């Protein structure tokens, strides 16, 4: 699910203070949210779980779903941190702290939709990613999962261009020498392309993979899974 070291220290504290990147990120998040609304139109009766929330972020707009969704009383956010800011910003939503690598503490089919943005690339190996998605689809009937596209020219966590096109071991070694030791480790960043993402979906589940483009190229993959 990505841990607090990644979400707080390694990304937000480095990328967001850069004003241009902050604006780009906000624009991309808005576009992705609009696609989510198109695929899953908001309704008061829908139960939504937002998997991978960083509850220590100190500005309300940094919460991708909650700052936009109109029916927060139907939303449960879950993440690895205690809810330092989440409950103050969104008192009508619910927050649940979960354990890394543990099954989600919810009943089968408890939610109508799972929203999971830019999390699956941070849970480790392909096996871990497969188990994470299976557990997501256990607790929710449908899912909207986003992840950066490995073949976008700029790697969106480090903002380094092209190195991630190299064989995995090679670019991880280069990341270490450049000071990106955290992102050089598979357990913290394991990029996906469309083929790899498709192979994670449990057998027998119907799905679609959409792409979101930035500067004319597909920067993000959007996995849409509906109830069987």
Contact criterion met (CB below 8 Å) for 101 and 77:
no
State yes or no: pLDDT of 24 exceeds 80. no
Domain 4-151+191-225 in this protein, CATH class? alpha beta
State yes or no: pLDDT of 82 exceeds 70. yes
Q: What is the 3-state secondary structure (H, E, C) of 113-140?
A: EEEEECCHHHCCCHHHHHHHHHHHHHHE
Contact criterion met (CB below 8 Å) for 140 and 114:
yes
**pLDDT tens track for 84-134:** 899 999 999 999 999 988 999 999 999 999 999 999 999 999 999 999 999
Contacts of 75 (CB under 8 A, 6+ apart): 48, 49, 50, 65, 66, 69, 90, 93, 94
132 vs 136: CA distance, rounded Å = 6
Query: Could you state, in order of their start, the residue ranges of all structural domains in the chain?
Result: 4-151+191-225
Q: Closest by alpha carbon to 150, among 133, 163, 131, 132?
A: 163
């Amino acid at each position: 699910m990505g841990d607090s070291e990644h979400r707080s220290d390694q990304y937000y504290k480095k990328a967001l203070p850069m004003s241009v990147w902050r604006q780009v990120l906000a624009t991309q998040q808005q576009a992705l949210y609009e696609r989510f609304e198109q695929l899953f139109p908001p309704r008061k009766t829908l139960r939504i779980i937002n998997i991978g929330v960083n509850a220590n972020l100190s500005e309300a707009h940094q919460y991708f779903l909650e700052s936009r969704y109109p029916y927060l009383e139907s939303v449960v956010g879950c993440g690895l941190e205690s809810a330092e800011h989440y409950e103050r910003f969104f008192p009508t939503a619910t927050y649940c702290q979960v354990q890394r690598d543990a099954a989600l503490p919810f009943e089968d089919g408890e939610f109508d939709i799972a929203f999971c943005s830019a999390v699956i690339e941070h849970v480790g190996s392909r096996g871990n990613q497969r188990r994470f998605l299976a557990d997501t689809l256990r607790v929710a009937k449908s899912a909207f999962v986003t992840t950066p596209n490995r073949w976008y020219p700029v790697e969106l966590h480090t903002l380094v261009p092209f190195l991630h096109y190299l064989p995995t071991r090679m670019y991880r070694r280069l990341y270490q020498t450049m000071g990106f030791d955290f992102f050089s480790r598979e357990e913290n960043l394991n990029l996906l392309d469309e083929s790899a993402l498709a192979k994670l979906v449990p057998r027998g589940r119907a799905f679609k993979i959409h792409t979101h483009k930035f500067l004319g190229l597909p920067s993000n993959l959007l996995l849409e899974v509906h109830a069987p």
